[in-house]
A and B are shown apart, each in its own frame.
Chain A
Amino acid sequence: MNLYDIIFYLFAAITIVSAFIVVNAKNIVYAAFSLLFTFFGVSGLYVLLGADFIAIVQVMVYIGGILVLLLFGVMLTHKITSVDIKAGSVQTIPAVIIIGIFAALLIGLMYSTHWAVNPAEIPVTTTKSLGKTLVTEYVLIFELLGILLLVAMIGAATIARRDGDK
C-alpha cells in the first residue's frame, strides 16, 4: 500500500462520508457545510487522476461559487426566527431500498464490465494542453459557453429581481 493508495482512500472516505451527512442532515446549514467537504474530496480525487486544472476549477467554482450561492439560498429562504433550519424527508424507507438496489447494480455492472484500460502518461500540467484544445478543437463550445453564461446571468438576474420594480 503506497502513498497513492492511502491518499485515494482518504479522499474517497472524505467524499462519501460527507456526502452521507449531506443527504441525512436535519439542519440544512450543516448539509451545506458538509457539501464543502464533499467537493474538497472530489477535487482531491481529480488531483489523483492527474487533472490538476480541473481540481483547481472545482475548488474555485464549486466551493467558492456554487456553495456560497447555496448558502445565500438558505439564508434568503428562511424566516428570521427559525434558528433550527430543518429539512425533512419523505418516503425514506422505499427510497433506501430502491436506491440500495440501484447502487448495487451499478457497482456490479462496473466490476463485471471489462473496460479497455490503457493508462496514459500523466502530463505534468494540463492547463496548457486544455487551452490548446479549447482554442482549436472545442472553439465553438467555448464561444457557446460565453453565450450560455450571458443567458444565465441575464435570466437569473431578471427572475430574482421580478418583485421589486413593477
Chain B
Amino acid sequence: MLTEFGKIFVFILLAGGFVAIALVAASLIRPKRPTKEKLKTYECGEDPVGSPWVRFNIRFYVVALIFIIFDVEVVMLFPWALVYKNFGVYGFIVGAIFLLVLFLGMAYEWRKGDLEWARPKIEPPKMDIKFKPEIAPRPVEEKTVSEVE
C-alpha cells in the first residue's frame, strides 16, 4: 500500500520517535538540581545583557523574502529539469523564459541595493562651483564660520 517514498517517511517517523523516547527517558532518569548559575544563558562566561527578544532589522525581512521567492523557483525547476531533454529546444525555451523572468526580479533587487547589507547612499549630483559664505570673520572674536555653529 505504501509507496517507496512512504517507506522512507515511516523510517523518518521511527527515527523521530526514537529521539523522543530517548529524551523523555533520559529526563525521567537523570538527576535534576538546577541552580541559578546553571540556568543562566551562556555568553562566553559574561553575564548576559538584555533580553534575547530584540526586534530585528527590517533588512532581514527583505533577505528572507528573496530567499522564499528563489526557494519556490527551485521547486518549480525540479520537475522541469527532469523532463526538458525529452522535449528538445521547446523544453529548454520554456525553462529559459521562466528563469529569465525571475532573473529580472533579481536584477531589480540588485540595482536597488536590497542585497547590500549597508545600503549605498545615492548622492545627488554636485556642482563644481565652490560656495563661499560671505561672512567676514569678526576681528575681535576671531571665530571662523565652522566654529560659530
Query: When the two chains form their complex, are residues A135 and B10 in contact, meaning their CB atoms are under 8 A apart?
Result: no
Whether B54 and A149, one on each chain, are in contact in the complex, defined by CB atoms closer than 8 angstroms, is no
Instruction: Assess whether A100 is interfacial by the CB under 8 Å rule.
Output: no
A131 touches B79 (CB 8 A): yes
- Select B1's contact among A3, A136, A143, A160, beta carbons within 8 Å: A3
B109 to chain A, nearest CB (A): 6
Of B1, B6, B102, which is within 8 A of A150 by CB?
A: B102
Q: Are A143 and B82 in contact (CB under 8 A)?
A: no
- Interface residues of A, dominant DSSP: helix
Q: Is A76 an interface residue (CB 8 A)?
A: yes
How many interface contacts (CB-CB < 8 Å) are there between A and B? 165
Complex-state Cα separation, A122 to B5, whole angstroms: 11
CB of A80 within 8 A of chain B? yes
* Interface 9-residue window, one of B65-73, B126-134, B141-149: B65-73
Enumerate chain B residues within 8 angstroms of A130, measured Cβ to Cβ: 79
8 Å CB contact of A124 from B4, B72, B104, B109 = B4
**Size of chain B's interface in residues, with CB distance under 8 A?**
55
Chain B contact residues: over half helix, strand or loop, or mixed? helix
Kindly list chain A residues whose C-beta atoms are within 8 Å of the C-beta of B84.
131, 135
Which residues on A sit within 8 Å (CB–CB) of B79? 53, 127-128, 130-131, 134
CA A7 to CA B54, docked complex, whole Å: 40
In whole angstroms, how far apart are the Cα atoms of A82 and B119 in the complex? 29
Interface residues of B in 100-141 (CB under 8 A from A): 101-102, 104-105, 108-109, 112, 114, 119, 122
Q: Is B39 in contact with chain A by the CB < 8 A criterion?
A: no
Partner pick for A146 among B4, B64, B102, CB 8 A cutoff: B102
Contacts of A44 in B (CB 8 A): 9, 13
Known: A131-B80, A143-B101, A149-B72. A164 touches B119 (CB 8 A): yes
**Interchain CA distance A154-B66 in the complex, whole Å:** 9
Contact stretch, chosen from A57-65, A91-99, A102-110: A57-65
Q: Which of A59-92 contact B (CB under 8 A)?
A: 60-61, 64-66, 68-69, 72-73, 75-76, 78-83, 85
Of A7, A132, A150, which one neighbours B13 at CB under 8 angstroms? A7
Please give me the residue from chain B that is nearest to A136 by CB atom.
B87
Q: Is A47 an interface residue (CB 8 A)?
A: yes
* Least Cβ–Cβ distance between A31 and chain B, in angstroms: 16
Per-residue B-contact encoding for A1-29, CB less than 8 Å = 1, 0 else: 01110010010000000000000000000
Known: A76-B56, A145-B76, A165-B119. A157 touches B71 (CB 8 A): no
Residues of B within 8 A of A (CB): 1-6, 9-10, 13, 51, 53-56, 58, 60-62, 64-69, 71-76, 78-84, 86-87, 90-91, 94, 97-99, 101-102, 104-105, 108-109, 112, 114, 119, 122
- A sample of 14 inter-chain contacts (CB < 8 A) reads A4-B1, A48-B6, A61-B72, A69-B61, A78-B55, A80-B53, A128-B83, A135-B87, A142-B98, A146-B102, A149-B102, A152-B69, A160-B65, A165-B119
